[in-house]
Amino acid sequence: MSPVAGASKAAQGGPHYTKKDFESDQDVRWCPGCGDYAILAAVQKTMPDLGIPRENIVFISGIGCSSRFPYYMNTYGFHTIHGRAPAIATGLKLARPELKVFVVTGDGDGLSIGGNHLLHVLRRNVDVTILLFNNRIYGLTKGQYSPTSEQGKVTKSTPLGSAERPVSPCSFALAVGASFVARVVDRNIAHMEEVLRRAARHRGAAFVEILQNCNVYNDLAWNVLYDRESKVLAELRLEHGQRLVFGPVDDRRGLVLDGVKPRVVRVKDVPESALWVHDERDRATGLVLAQLWAPDYPIPLGVMASDETVPVYEDTLLAQERKAIADRGPGDIAALLRSGETWTIK
């Protein structure tokens, strides 16, 4: 194990930060009204709670609106190239496993050009926290459909509607073996902060899909979760160990599992014991949850799966290095050069 440096020190009264300590001196350049502002504020507000010295935190991003994020955090940061942030973060963690590394990406950056890297950082279970801002559109290139855009979406590049089926980021993450998967929405700040704290404390690859509003190119894409009336039946809040129930107070709905098939029921119609109890440690049922979507089902928000038993990639790799050194001592180039077949010329 290589826990984040300074974390324990912090717990014993180390650095005491406020949100302000994590605000950089750069002017934030997102469009007025962008959902990214709320996410930035939530992340900055969450940071002090982690108890990690600011200098041990690194934000790495790719390309896109979301990827400007590192410039606004007063930590170490690296704004890299399109789609590659997970690979850059992997290299950084191999070099410096003791650092706390965040990857900030978007639906285009993470699931289109960088889909391959996202797959592998999750399956390897590198100890990084990945925040994927999903606004279902390409914003920085001014409004083309993205891999999460709905079928039929009319955009600049699909004037007659997109022919593609959207990918579900959380289903993807769970299917490739992610050890922590959660979904939040940009307009529920308290819930977002709570999940971000949990994700940041997870050891291993933690994946958080943040449903985010692009008010310029795809306004109210998540309106079903914003609108007071519609969200009552659309939002399913996940709580570990609790029954999966949602809907109006006077007419609660619940989920039951018929084998592997989820079904929506009226709570009053079934015995309480029939309702599905959420177990974060079970990644298989997490994957079932991740595939639920409105209008047939409610949209799950919160932690779908959290499994701390999955080995962390760099732990395994560095244990090999330590063992090799413990068994045979550190490398000696002079000895290596003379190993094997040699001959002497006088």
Partner 1 sequence: MSETMASAPVVAKPRRTLTRAVIRFAGDSGDGMQVTGEQFTTEAAWAGNDIATLPNFPAEIRAPAGTLFGVSSFQLQFGSQRVYTPGDQLDALVAMNPAALKVHLGDLKPGGILVVNAAAFEERNLARAGYERSPLEDPGLAEKYRLHQVDITGLTKKALADLPLNAKEKDRCRNFFALGLVSWIYTRPLEPTLDAIRKRFAKNPQFVEANIRVLKAGHAFGETAEMFGEHYGIEPAEMAPGVYRSMTGNRALAWGVLAAAQRTQLPVVFGAYPITPASDVLHELALHKRFGIRSFQAEDEIAAMASIIGAAFGGAIGVTASSGPGIALKGEAIGLAVMAELPVVIFDVQRGGPSTGLPTKTEQADLMQAMYGRNSEAPVVVLAPASPGDCFFVAYEAIRLAVKYMVPVIVLSDGYLANGSEPWLIPDPAALPDIPVTFRTEAAGFFPYLRDPATLARPWVRPGTPGLEHRIGGIEKEDVTGNISYEPENHDYMVRMRAEKVRRVAQEIPPTTINGPHAGDVLVVGWGGTYGAITAAAEEAQLGGKAVASIHLRHLNPLPPDLGQILRQYRRVLVPEINSGQLVRILRAEYLVDAVGFHRVRGMPLQTQEIHEAITQLLEARP
Among the listed ranges 48-56, 131-139, 251-259, 304-312, the one in contact with partner 1 (CB under 8 A) is 48-56
159 near partner 1 (CB under 8 A): no
What is the longest distance spanned by two Cα atoms in the chain?
A: 97
From residue 279 to residue 318, the character string flagging contacts with partner 1 as x (rule: CB under 8 A) and all else as - is --------------------------------------xx
Please, which residues have CB within 8 angstroms of residue 73's CB and are 6 or more apart in sequence? Answer: 22, 23, 24, 40, 43, 44, 57, 59
8 near partner 1 (CB under 8 A): no
**Rounded to an integer, what distance in angstroms lies between the CA atom of residue 106 and that of residue 104?**
7
Q: State which residue, 261 or 346, has the beta carbon closest to partner 1.
A: 346
Contact 208, 129 (CB under 8 A): yes
**Rounded to an integer, what distance in angstroms lies between the CA atom of residue 249 and that of residue 46?**
31
**Rounded to an integer, what distance in angstroms lies between the CA atom of residue 53 and that of residue 30?**
28
**Rounded to an integer, what distance in angstroms lies between the CA atom of residue 37 and that of residue 34?**
6
195 near partner 1 (CB under 8 A): no
Backbone angles phi, psi at 122, to 5 degrees: -75, -45
Among the listed ranges 76-84, 197-205, 215-223, 231-239, the one in contact with partner 1 (CB under 8 A) is 76-84
96 near partner 1 (CB under 8 A): yes
Contact 73, 64 (CB under 8 A): no
92 near partner 1 (CB under 8 A): yes
26 near partner 1 (CB under 8 A): yes
**Site for partner 1, rule CB under 8 A:** 5, 24, 26, 53-56, 58, 60, 63, 70-71, 73-81, 84, 87-96, 98-99, 116-117, 119-120, 317-318, 320-321, 324-325, 328-334, 336-338, 340-346
